[in-house]
Structure 1
């Protein structure tokens, strides 16, 4: 397996790893705002998340920033909870841009820090980290697309066949994710 394939696979594995399902929860709560027919908006959301994730992952891997790992492990579920609460309250529009796009990017910055120590250790022997980082982030985006596609297909049952209103679906999904993220925050005990 070549270097690109190795890091691409690592990116997919990172996002789809059920042991660290925080990314899955974040992508799901972002997706819950839109019906399947608005898949382009969802793709923009997850791409904004990937860009934010990539920026801090690169900065941390290059040792340009260093953040307390325990704090990051608390902040990740906090970002999920904030996004879920925003969904429940109805996302606001700031200067023509929906708040959830800003959440996706800025919270992606925090999520990127969560994997940086492990990736730094992996890249320690690489002559150049640019290609491995690129491959990892392309794999991350591919993994997110798997989550998005799965969620959209699962959403068809309640939204199309059972005629559940989109707003009700958003509140149900966001409430479930909020509860899970609160439990994750309690378990991190960074204080």
Structure 2
């Protein structure tokens, strides 16, 4: 049984490189350029050949596409765009992505001229959203909290870092302190980038994020040997959290922030990330405790296999991002 669980863990970690940066929601941008003209753009991640590659957003009833939509292939995604003419105010109208299925979701960014940007999250159960004249603060808080949770759970590189941190530290309270230090650190850099006080090119940031995962995997593989990461895990988490904050900023840059509600969006996004992290921490700690109770003599071997799997995923990303 334990061997089977380890095999599943290894398979998931080795599959992760293919999904590291593409497990993001469908992204839709609806931007007004003059009184009647809008630009619609979308990025649809592809999970397999069965995906509908001709899918596109469903526009408000008063809007029509001019000409043919433009589509091009990107890495595991379809990027589309079109010019749209609307015969009146789109407030109160609906925008949708009908192609959603299962646990998939979509983020819609609506940017009317002279009014605040608004963000909506679509799901398979509710694939449409009503465009409002002015987005409410509650809508911003709710949407960005969910985006934060989704980003930590669907972003394999950030997720593996958190899992590796839990496996390294093991004890609940030190793990929570380290995870909170990670959140505080990435919140600082995320806010600094968003407000224009700092910035780094995305490519080296992604390379260093992969390197942080390899570093923690090596620390786990060292066993019980005393190292800085074991003595002061919160410090290591804080240092790497500053780096991961630049990665989160890249994700938020794709989604966009609502004008007039930037502080609410940043705080709720970070709270969502922290909630997602605590959920992952609870699951990993519970699995490790169950392993210790069922087969305590297998714990060291399980940690070694997990460190190799995490390290392999991190090394793959590192090489892939350096070579890209």
Return the TM-score normalized by structure 2.
Answer: 0.53
What is the CA–CA distance in structure 2 between the aligned matches of 1:168 and 1:53, rounded to whole Å? 32
**Larger gyration radius, structure 1 or structure 2:** 2
Aligned length: 185
What is the CA–CA distance in structure 1 between the aligned matches of 2:193 and 2:178, rounded to whole Å? 23
Match of 1:6 among 121, 143, 147: 143
Name the SS for the 1:157 alignment partner: helix
**CA deviation after TM superposition for structure 1 residue 130, in Å:** 1.3
What is the CA–CA distance in structure 1 between the aligned matches of 2:314 and 2:226, rounded to whole Å? 19
Q: Which residue of 2 aligns with 1:136?
A: 269
Verify the 8 A CA contact 2:186 2:241 in the aligned structure 1.
Answer: yes
Q: Decide which structure has greater strand share.
A: 2
**CA deviation after TM superposition for structure 1 residue 123, in Å:** 4.2
Verify the 8 A CA contact 1:83 1:100 in the aligned structure 2.
Answer: no
Structure 2: runs of 5+ lacking an equivalent: 1-137
Q: Which residue of 1 aligns with 2:175?
A: 42
Aligned CA RMSD, in angstroms, stands at 2.2
What is the CA–CA distance in structure 1 between the aligned matches of 2:201 and 2:184, rounded to whole Å? 22
Structure 1: runs of 5+ lacking an equivalent: none
Name the SS for the 2:274 alignment partner: helix
Verify the 8 A CA contact 1:70 1:190 in the aligned structure 2.
Answer: no
Distance 1:151 1:102, change over 3 A: same
Q: Decide which structure has greater helix share.
A: 1
Verify the 8 A CA contact 2:141 2:265 in the aligned structure 1.
Answer: yes
**CA deviation after TM superposition for structure 1 residue 169, in Å:** 4.1
Q: Which residue of 2 aligns with 1:147?
A: 280
Q: Which residue of 2 aligns with 1:188?
A: 321
Match of 1:25 among 151, 160, 165: 160
**CA deviation after TM superposition for structure 1 residue 21, in Å:** 0.3
Distance 1:186 1:162, change over 3 A: same
Q: Which residue of 2 aligns with 1:173?
A: 306
